[in-house]
Amino acid sequence: MKALITGASRGLGLALAGALDREGWELVLDARDGSALEKAAPAGSTVVVGDVADPAHRAALVAAASGLDLLVNNAGTLGVTPLPALSGYPLDALEHAFAVNTLGPLALIQGVLPVLRERRGAIVNISSDAAREPYEGWGGYGASKAALEQLSNVLAAEEPQVAVWCVDPGEMRTAMLAAAGEDAEAAPRPEDVAVPALLRLVAERLPSGRYTASGLVR
């Protein structure tokens, strides 16, 4: 089995890569921080360094993903920090957030869909409760994730032979949560809830749809 995980140099992406590696998966891993990814990636992984907003980088990922069974769109950006109100959100920064959080994942999906159809594979799009809840300051990030969720909904309807899961992992002890000004140390590690939830999705091949990590962990 082969998986492509974006944003795999730290946090949820790295933790999931480790878990799948222990289960014998072949891995293609992506991140912007090449040195961190090279140090952290499980031995034997294919490492492709770059930004999912870059078409050339996405093409390299698709080329490395022959025989793919699972795509995990985990790479993301908060956008501007400290998180600003929408009234003053720089539109160029918002455009980049959508490029990373929404358009990059869709472009990767388009690139690997032929092989996923053939192999009856699966897609995991990592979302957030900010896609549905009106948290002050989270408008830019939340809007990009809300768009990703709707893309997931429509894709599931259009591609019945491919499992399409949109997953809200909940708060996690990650650098991203800390960068948002939240108490990351009080949150569970990705290994505690989010990773077991994703492993259950893959192992049981649950129906396409939106899931929360807390709702998946028994």
Asked if 135 is an active-site residue, the reply is no
Separation of CA 91 from chain center: 23
CA–CA separation, 78 vs 53, rounded Å? 14
Burial of 128 per CB tally in 10 Å (0-12, 13-18, 19+): buried
Q: Which residue out of 89, 135, 141, 211 is catalytically annotated?
A: 141
Question: Which structure tokens are listed for 150?
Answer: 């709707």
Return d(Cα 177, Cα 49) in angstroms, integer: 23
Tokens 């009234």 sit on residue = 87
Instruction: List residues with catalytic annotation.
Output: 141
